Amino acid sequence: MEIPSRFTGVIKKLHYETGEMAIVGKPLIDIDVQEDVNIDEPAFETAQDGHDSQKVSDVSTSLSKGHKSSQLSENENSGVKKGKLAALATPAVRHLTKELDVNITDVDGTGRDGRVLKDDVYKFVEMRGSNLSSSSEPTKSSQLSPSPLSDEGPQTESIVQLTNMQSQMFKTMSRSLSIPHFLYADEVDISSLSELRSRLNKSLAKASNGKDFNKLSFLPFIIKAMSLSLHQYPILNARVDIDPDTSKPTLAMRTQHNIGIAMDTPQGLLVPVMRNVAARSIDSIGLELSRLQALAMAGKLTTADLSGGTITLSNIGNIGGTYVSPVIVDKEVSILGIGKMRTIPAFDDDGNIVKKQICNFSWSADHRVVDGATMARAAEVVRNFVEAPDSMMVHMR
């Protein structure tokens, strides 16, 4: 969005890079002002054509010459003004007036210098609504609802722009809509894996002599099991290629298993790619997972980290959910979703009740090129490796 400057001068410092998240109330830029400025005088005028355009007027001041940080505030009250001065408003308020079809110069501003605040706009709309509803002529404005802060009255909607992350997700998932998904879900017994994992972590802790060590989670084993199954079912690692001229589809078979790992991060969903899993040991997968996770949490993944995936793994179970219906992304034909691991009572071979740890594995495959039987067989391979993790040793390269 455009943010008009309150001062005429030369920008000396940008506090943020393009794409960074700016914090409300903190400086965006430092401006070297060419003359003294007076903050008591209006810094901008609005064009009177009802449009949103603004120009920065000349300002003279009691503030001293030097670097000033441009900050926009909407929280000081000093009486009610209307008209040209009332047109002072932050971009957020201007955006709101646009959404609610309000001419800002009609609004009583209760902020500093008659600055129009969000509450002023809501009050104006509320008043206009009640005035118009008593009139016999309904207009577009009369359908506008009262303040969204109210619990009563008709439903209201306010428009919120998508974040960069949501915009990206919107594009990616819209492309996924063209893929016919085949869902295959099964219950996997992770009791042995759980036992193996805690045994390995104990010995890693012992070997580290009380220092920090990279604790193995369940994922490195599951990632390795996926990769081993791809040797047997390479179609799951392929990509559908459609010739733009002839519209003829082909499959691009890929040699490397580059497994995208869905991660929940402060910025939203990110899917960094673990490269060449087939060539990695479980230990190396664990280290790489930690590295990618740390970068993802710090918002430091590069475009290279996020591209080139051939298949995806989404472990939503550490947050919750027994079942998941994962969505395949462009340039891939399958994805595995993992639900929450849980302990249940079960029967052993002799009919005794035993404690079991289980977890649901849900696969989606592109049904244009992967048939259900292939998906089921590949999923069985993964299930067998996860249920008997020592069997993976035989296939390690």
For residues 241 and 249, is the Cβ–Cβ distance under 8 A? yes
Counting contacts by CB under 6 A, is residue 258 touching ligand CAO? no
Q: Which of 89, 86, 92, 77 is nearest to 24 (CA)?
A: 92
Strand ranges for the chain from DSSP E: 9-14, 29-33, 44-46, 54-56, 67-69, 77-81, 109-111, 181-189, 239-242, 249-252, 259-261, 263-265, 268-270, 273-274, 311-315, 334-338, 342-347, 353-366
Closest distance of CB 111 from ligand CAO, Å: 40
For residues 350 and 326, is the Cβ–Cβ distance under 8 A? no
Among 168, 191, 293, 384, binds ligand CAO (CB under 6 A): 293
| Tokens (6 digits) for 377 | 């067989």
Q: Is 108 noted as a catalytic residue in this protein?
A: no
Counting contacts by CB under 6 A, is residue 315 touching ligand CAO? yes
Among 185, 316, 346, 376, binds ligand CAO (CB under 6 A): 316
Among 219, 301, 369, 379, binds ligand CAO (CB under 6 A): 219
For residues 31 and 43, is the Cβ–Cβ distance under 8 A? no
Place of tokens 């479980």: 282
Site stretch for ligand CAO (CB under 6 A), options 13-21, 178-186, 213-221, 224-232: 213-221
Counting contacts by CB under 6 A, is residue 389 touching ligand CAO? no
Counting contacts by CB under 6 A, is residue 317 touching ligand CAO? yes
For residues 108 and 88, is the Cβ–Cβ distance under 8 A? no
Looking at this protein, which amino acid is placed at residue 99? E
Site stretch for ligand CAO (CB under 6 A), options 18-26, 237-245, 263-271, 276-284: 263-271
Counting contacts by CB under 6 A, is residue 37 touching ligand CAO? no
Counting contacts by CB under 6 A, is residue 340 touching ligand CAO? yes
Q: Which of 267, 247, 230 is nearest to 381 (CA)?
A: 230
Calpha distance 367→337 (Å, rounded) = 17
User: Contact letters (x/-) for ligand CAO, 264-283, by CB under 6 A?
Assistant: x----x--------------
Closest distance of CB 178 from ligand CAO, Å: 18
Site stretch for ligand CAO (CB under 6 A), options 28-36, 311-319, 360-368, 389-397: 311-319
> Any idea which residues carry the catalytic annotation?
367, 371
Q: Which residues bind ligand CAO (CB under 6 A)?
A: 217-219, 261-264, 269, 289, 293, 314-319, 338, 340-341, 359
